[in-house]
Structure 1
Amino acid sequence: MNKKKNYRWVILTMLFIAMIINYVDRAALSIAMPFITQEYHLTPAEKGMIFSSFFFGYALFCFVGGYLSDRYGPKTVLTWSMSFWSLLCGATALAFNFWSLLIVRALFGVGEGPVSSTANKAVNSWFPITERARAIGIAQSGGPLGGALAGPIIGFLALWLGWRFAFVVVAVLGLIWAVAWYRLATSTPKEHPQVSAEELARINAGREAPVVAPEEAPHTPLTQIIFKRAVLVTGISLFCYNYILYFFMTWFPSYLIDAKGIDLKSMSLVTALPWLVGTVGFICGGLLIDWVFKVTGKRLFSRKLILVSCLLVAACCIALTGQVESVTATVAVMTVAVGFLMLTAPAYWSLIQDAVPDHQVGTAGGFMHGLSNLSGIIAPTVTGFIIQSTGTYSSGFALAGALGIGGALIVALFVTAPKVKNDVLEARASA
């Protein structure tokens, strides 16, 4: 068999596609919610609870999935995770009332929980230090692209064939991906027959130790990983980031309809714009981080500069969105907010990879992601009750903006360089 010099980009392409499907089906409920509300006569509080139910399973299994990816490898975890969540996505079509939708959505979150932390583990295993931020940015950019596609795809299918059929289509796509991943991927590059010695050497350049199979990695007690200050602080900041993201993902479509008076068809198209800009933001964020690292030789500085500055801009814009009057201005300011929000995202996953050794990345990333996704439980429900009690969305936008500012300041003040390597020497060694 002929070996390829750049097989890691095949793995990255698969992760990118997985994130597209991930966000299409995650955002599908928000797009379909106006249709579901009409059928089941849901109150704002009930809608908020359904949005939040996803994150009860999701937040826990972010951590569980990350831990399992360290123990059994990204290939196994992503295969099972994608298969399970796809089946539950299809099962959404079987929901018949508020409670059945609530239960299916919670189980659906269990399946999706491992994805981001396991994808981060795969990037850590397959990419050298100098390419990690851009690889994270490219892989995770599939998320906002999926969110952009969700509006037109789910909206069109729901209008044409009904909202239930839309969930079945997405479920089939997920199952096809799981089969392809199982056939194409391995957990580490050393295991794959198409990885050349040249590529393997490049992947291992600058590491403290070469990438090893999960069963060969040393065991570390969980408490030593999850209670590291960098892991906890990054998780708290990502909580603030995710509060903005999930506020936007779950309530912005309803805001456009309820507060701005646009129709369902227009909403499906308009909500795609912030996601498309967010896709560009994800990719550019990773490229910017790697560029700053290359120019300065300062790994931590490159992560913090992009994260803090861009998250502050996003937070201010999200708060402003609730104050503008016209639909055009609302979508424009929200688009800027999402674009800058996505610019920050690769920095979080890069920071967590820097904070722990390679064989702990899944567990640390999973804990960070699980902690941060408690915001998915809180944001939709809190927003629903705010809307129901005040009759407006403006306080919900203001709260999201305030949390974003807090998240940026936490990283700026409390994330410090790990005591492992000199960043300048490491950058030169990895160049």
Structure 2
Amino acid sequence: MVLAFMCFLGFGSYFCYDNPAALQTQVQRDMKVNTAQFMSLYAWYSWPNVVLCFFGGFLIDRVFGIRWGTIIFSCFVCVGQVIFAVGAISNAFWLMETGRFVFGIGGESLAVAQNTYAVSWFKGKELNLVFGLQLSMARIGSTVNMNIMGWVYSRVQDLLGSTGYLTLGIALLIGGVTCIFSLICALILAYLDRRAEKILCKEQGKTGEVIKLTDVKDFSLSLWLIFIICVCYYVAVFPFIGLGKVFFIEKFKFSSQEASAINSIVYVISAPMSPVFGFLVDKVGRNITWVILAVVTTLASHIMLAFTFFNPWIAMCLLGVAYSLLACALWPMVAYVVPEHQLGTAYGFMQSIQNLGLAVISIAAGMILDSRGYLFLEIFFSACVCLSLIAVVMLYFVNLLRGGDLNWSAKKREKMQKLAVAEEKRREKIRRQNEDDLAKLQPKNDFSLRNRYLSRLGAQVLITKVFLSKGWQFSSLWKGLMFLKPLMAFNTIPVV
């Protein structure tokens, strides 16, 4: 039951994130904005997460706690969506941008809270399956949004009898019901987690994010190349999906419903394929090879969309497969090149520059589309993927020169891990042996020297018992032993 509420916790956030993409034509027409202004709705979502990637985990761990943190971030998502809808109803585009900013404050941090709940409840059991199910539910939320929000807008239009900003605002308010549903899930999860804490003496979950910005200076070249791959790849996927619906309508003459369906195919494929590819990469290894394959496939997909009139379903299905594969192969590589105590900083920095790239490129993509059209926009996205390809090829050779651990097979990685564990045990054994040897060389105090001397004489146990049973002091005991020493030398005292 906890797993079900955990999966639905982020459903509303992912559903409403792509509301603008599902209603691109309606937003631009009703609010009278160009494409650059439209894409600023995505940029305003990303701006707060340039910073919150570093502090979201800290707020959950140290300030709010997992339960209150989840509820508070869910409230930010709900309030942000309401402000977004009210901005449309009042025909105030700046208010819509404010709503997206507030929505962004809660969105990414809610995902951190969702993962923390998963670790708290399922660590050591079916954790990988749980993460896969959460990701699948997130993609289902995005897919449902793409395919239903246009229909919701049409029903509101039929009810009011005309199009316009009022129709748009009401449609967005109806979409916000999913955020309220997610908030209810957060409240139920908090109750169940508190109940489990009392019954099972279970501690609240921790994010495990220990972030120190001073660690950035210690990042290796391999890690910086991974960052470049991440940014250059994702800026060619998410902004494209944000603008994709109108692209398919104008170039391929699809209907609005068909355009929504093909634009959501990336998320549809990602839902079932992400767990499958995760399992495949775990079993095979060769992370860099998989990343190269994903980037090349994505480049081929954008080139097909830009320069051909082939059935776009082929290109979009390839994009969906590549997107799922890259996520499974790229993100785990960070753990291979960064010490464990720096993982929180590395992942936080990676998400931060990813959101910065998305914010900047979203606005740039809108400006390119307004001034040059979709062909130049696709060339721009292809150029971004080419930069990602150059970075991953550089990563391959840098890794090769430094031992090739990022591209090891799964069997070799397992073997090297076993050797590392054995070496660590050997060093620990040597360290303990050295400590014991040092302890033997330490100077003895008076009591230990006397005790050692008496034990060699063989009379320690008997005489100590006799004197202590009489309640005599140690000084008296020692005097008695000195008196008996000549007798002990001739073995006249039996040894017990």
Taking structure 2 as the reference length, what is the TM-score of the superposition?
A: 0.68
Matched, 1:289 2:281: yes
Backbone CA RMSD of aligned residues? 3.9
Shift of 1:243: 0.8
Alignment length (residue pairs): 394
Deviates more, 1:152-161 or 1:311-320: 311-320
Residues 387 and 281 of structure 1: is their aligned pair in 2 closer, same or farther, counting only changes over 3 Å? same
Q: Within 1, Cα distance between the matches of 2:246 and 2:209?
A: 49
The 3-state SS of whatever aligns with 2:33 is coil
Identity of aligned residues (%): 18
Task: Check 1:246–1:427 CA distance in 2 against 1; reply closer, same or farther (3 A cut).
Answer: farther
- Give how far 1:408 is off: 3.6
1:252 aligns with 244
**Aligned equivalent of 1:387:** 369
Residue of structure 1 equivalent to 2:386: 402
Query: Which residue in 2 is equivalent to 1:266?
Result: 258
Distance 1:188 1:359 in 2: 28
CA contact (8 A) 2:58 2:209 kept: no
User: Which one of the candidate residues 340, 345, 354 is aligned to 1:372?
Assistant: 354
SS in 2 for 1:45: helix
Conservation of the 8 A alpha-carbon contact between 1:151 and 1:272: yes
> Is 1:107–2:102 an aligned residue pair?
yes
Which of 149, 158, 162 lines up with 1:154 in the alignment? 149
The question of 1:36 aligning with 2:20 is answered no
Give the aligned partner of residue 169 of structure 2: 164
For residue 90 of structure 1, report the CA deviation from its aligned partner.
2.1
- The answer (yes or no) to whether the contact 1:28–1:154 under 8 Å persists in 2 is yes
| Aligned residues of 2:197 and 2:204 also touching (Cα < 8 A) | no
Kindly name which structure, 1 or 2, has the bigger radius of gyration based on alpha carbons.
2
Q: Which ranges in structure 1 are unaligned for 5 or more consecutive residues?
A: 1-6, 201-210, 293-300
Is 1:20 matched up with 2:11? yes
The CA deviation at 1:304 is: 3.8
Does the residue aligned with 2:48 lie in a helix, a strand or coil? helix
Query: For 2:252, what is the secondary structure of its paired residue?
Result: coil
Q: Which has the higher contact order (CA 8 A, sep 6+)?
A: 1
Q: Which residue among 305, 308, 313 is the counterpart of 1:331? A: 313
User: Match for 2:56: what amino acid?
Assistant: G
Q: What is the aligned partner in structure 2 of residue 342 from structure 1?
A: 324
Residue 80 of structure 1 is aligned with which of 64, 72, 76? 72
How many Å separate the matches in 2 of 1:173 and 1:338?
25
Conserved? CA contact 2:292–2:392, under 8 Å: yes
**Is the alpha carbon distance of 1:302 and 1:180 closer, same or farther for their aligned partners in structure 2, counting shifts above 3 Å?**
farther
Aligned to 2:131: 136
Distance (Å, rounded) in 1 between the aligned partners of 2:10 and 2:418: 30
Counterparts of 1:365 and 1:67, CA distance in 2: 14
CA contact (8 A) 1:237 1:372 kept: no
Distance 2:44 2:264 in 1: 24
Q: 1:413 to 1:112 in 2, by over 3 A?
A: farther
Q: Deviations over 1:353-394 (max 9, x none)?
A: 556677765554332212112221122222222222323333
Letter in 2 for 1:398: S
In 2, the alpha carbon distance for the partners of 1:345 and 1:129 equals 23
